Amino acid sequence: MTAVHTRPRAIRVGRISMRWRPRHLVVVLVASIVALAVAVVSAGIGDFTITPGRVLEVLAGGGTRREELVIITIRLPRVLIGLAVGIALAVSGAIVQTTARNSLASPDLLGVTAGASVGAVAVIILGGNSGQVSGMLEAIGVPAGALIGGLAASTLVLLLMRGRGTSGLQPILIGVGVSALLGGLVSWMMVSASITDAARANVWLTGSLNGRSWNELWALLAVIVVSSAVLVPLSTRLGTIDLGNDVARGLGVPMVLTQGGLLLVAVILASATTAAAGPIGFVALVCPHLARLASGASRPPLVASGAIGALLVVGSDLVARTVLAPIQLPAGAITALIGAPFLLWLLIRTRREARR
């Protein structure tokens, strides 16, 4: 019965065909429903507590003016950004792991998040000074600065990895080295900044959803929509890429263009989330593995990864807000507590498999 339950089925619409597994669909539905339920609960928790049923009434257009102000204006952007950040990070991680064919690969371990942090902090700190360069940085803005930093860091990592392959621990060590270098640049900018600018940058660097507004949400959603339009046609080749470069080339897949396009989408998604909420670590690493294990698939499924990522981030933010209330922890601290042991487990498993 298990084999029948997990057997892939095909859907064809015109010249486009897709394969799906019932088990995959169940994982997506369960994770999505739980993520939305946690989001509703999170929107009602705070100094002014509102029951989940009342939150739904406010979202449907009811409620008092005070409830509408608290839910719609203050809390809803934070919750929705948490869902969007989780989706984007998890999908980015799934793309990188499949394209690199490396279970340890993720944007935060390969230096992309660190590069985005450098770009964003440079705009926050150096953009506030006087001078032509500072004026240019201020005009760029934090989102564009994070994107440029992420692209620059990923380019540097790819150049250092050239001719070495993407399997094993070597790409991770290169990414860790680049991240350490970029972390030093962030520390230098923080030390040389004014107290006000350093405080702004430090709040952003903690990876928190606190204080987020509708503007950050619309910008992040725009990036996700554009990236999805590029990703949909490219994602049909992920299954072929997972078979290996030689097999994919033999089947007529243009590997340079396909891998380049997929990695570009992954970098853009990771950089956009860093610009919106700061560096929230380990989501891009953990969620694709959880989605693959839950779905029983050979590679991380994108949709299931996104649904689990949304659940992880919005759930972590809820825990961060309530576990030590009234003190609010950053959501990145909770994801790190989950992701760090998971990374250690992956490293141990990878080393054991290498010895066999």
CA distances 5 to 27, 247, 295, Å, are 13, 28, 11
Query: Cα 285 from chain centroid?
Result: 9
d(CA 300, CA 35): 19
pLDDT tens over the chain, length 356 residues: 333 345 555 555 555 555 667 888 999 999 999 999 999 999 999 888 889 999 999 998 887 888 888 999 889 999 999 999 999 999 999 998 888 887 888 888 888 888 888 888 888 887 655 444 455 656 667 778 888 888 898 888 888 877 665 555 677 788 888 888 898 998 888 888 888 888 888 877 888 888 888 888 998 999 999 999 989 888 888 777 777 667 777 777 777 788 888 888 999 999 899 888 888 989 999 999 999 989 888 788 999 999 999 999 999 999 998 888 788 888 888 999 998 888 888 878 777 776 66
Q: Which residue has the tokens 């739904």?
A: 56
CA distances 139 to 7, 14, 113, 135, 136, Å, are 53, 46, 22, 6, 5
| Cβ 291 vs Cβ 27: under 8 Å | yes
d(CA 81, CA 115): 21
In order of their start, the domains of the chain are 34-355 (1.10.3470.10)
Q: Where are the alpha helices (DSSP H) in 206-330?
A: 214-235, 238-241, 245-250, 255-277, 283-295, 302-322
DSSP state letters, 63-101: S-HHHHIIIIIIIHHHHHHHHHHHHHHHHHHHHHHHHHT
Q: Is 10 helix (H, G, I), strand (E, B) or coil?
A: strand
The pTM (predicted TM-score) of the whole model is 0.87
